[in-house]
Amino acid sequence: MSEAGHLASDPAVSVIKTSLFLGTFIGAITWTGSLVAYGKLQGLLNSNPLLLPGRHVLNAALLASNVGALGWYLNTDDATLGLALLGATTLLSSTMGVTLTSAIGGADMPVVITVLNSYSGWALCAEGFMLNNNLMTIVGALIGSSGAILSYIMCKAMNRSLPNVILGGYGTDSTGTGKAMEITGTHTEIKADQAVDYLKEAQNIIITPGYGLCVAKAQYPIAEMVELLRKKGKNVKFAIHPVAGRMPGQLNVLLAEAGVPYDIVHEMEEVNDEFKETDLTLVIGANDTVNSAAEEDPNSIIAGMPVLRVWNSKQVIVMKRSLGVGYAAVDNPIFFKPNTAMLLGDAKKTCDALLTKIKQDYEI
């Protein structure tokens, strides 16, 4: 308040006040949006999109109110009114962060995280302008631009557009208008001992980890198991989907921490055509990223989304807690295919059981 007079006489007062307002606006959206995203990822909130009636009108009204508050803020020299307007935009943009993020389903949370990361960078950049701090401005711009680029890459990997995700869209750019395909059939369940028999018989093995592996922190027993299998002359590699895990690159980091060699960790584009020659694919905690409905059902909400074609392998073992759907809330047909066996249970406990059995069989 004591500096209000100095600010009013500053030649760059409009730039400073605009930066201050934008930093508040973007920062509040980032804060509440991050809380909602965290709640959905941790299971504290329902991962399904909350599609409020007239949500686009509500968000447009909140945005228009913020624009009006910005105009008023720039044209007043009253310090008390200025603080009140900043408080108003904090409340309005905080509400906007909740309404925007709540309308986005759990399957899109990896994209939401990178978008929110980008927002935080632009908020920091705005604060750097306000404080005339070159370091904050540059770092904020780097964070904001890298987050935006990463969000675009992820949307391309999911066959989605960024506005479609941010505005709580439903389905990919290739989703049809008819009824989704009904899945029929029964699944086959196996135990850890049977899974080890499959691993011992197979020569070419691909492991496809997903979000479940991240949550269970099962990378260490998997890394040790892979090392043992490779010592027995088996060709083992990992296939990583661009949006697998909580955010891009998380699985690569977890596998590297566990000591998995970089040269056997491959991206989807590098390995997708190799499933046809693969004896066994081990899917650990992945669902939407290996869902064959993306290619087999034009009316599925994930139709056209690039996925790992694990079902082309001679044998598939899917390790999950249950037969439940993933964050996209779409049933997965591969669970019921004749070449798929379900190994249900906690990923960490199951991986430990596999490792123990392999050591026993190989007398290690």
Give the residue numbers annotated as catalytic, written as ranges.
Answer: 211, 246, 327
* Distance from C-alpha of 183 to C-alpha of 188, rounded to nearest angstrom: 15
Q: 349 and 184 in contact (C-beta within 8 Å)?
A: no
Interior/surface letters 154-163, b for 16+ CB within 10 angstroms, e for the rest: bbebbbbebe
Q: 181 and 296 in contact (C-beta within 8 Å)?
A: yes
Neighbours of 202 (CB within 10 A): 22
Return the amino acid letter for 87.
G
* Distance from C-alpha of 331 to C-alpha of 339, rounded to nearest angstrom: 17
* Distance from C-alpha of 108 to C-alpha of 158, rounded to nearest angstrom: 9
- Tokens of residue 53, six digits: 């009636």
Neighbours of 182 (CB within 10 A): 7
* Distance from C-alpha of 361 to C-alpha of 355, rounded to nearest angstrom: 10
* Distance from C-alpha of 196 to C-alpha of 190, rounded to nearest angstrom: 10
Length of the chain: 364
Q: Name 89's Cβ contacts closer than 8 Å, sequence gap at least 6.
A: 21, 24, 25, 28, 66, 69, 70
Scanning the chain, the segments in alpha helix (DSSP H) are 4-9, 13-41, 55-74, 79-102, 109-131, 134-157, 162-166, 192-201, 211-216, 219-231, 250-257, 268-271, 293-296, 347-361
Neighbours of 122 (CB within 10 A): 21
DSSP state of 343: E
DSSP state of 50: -
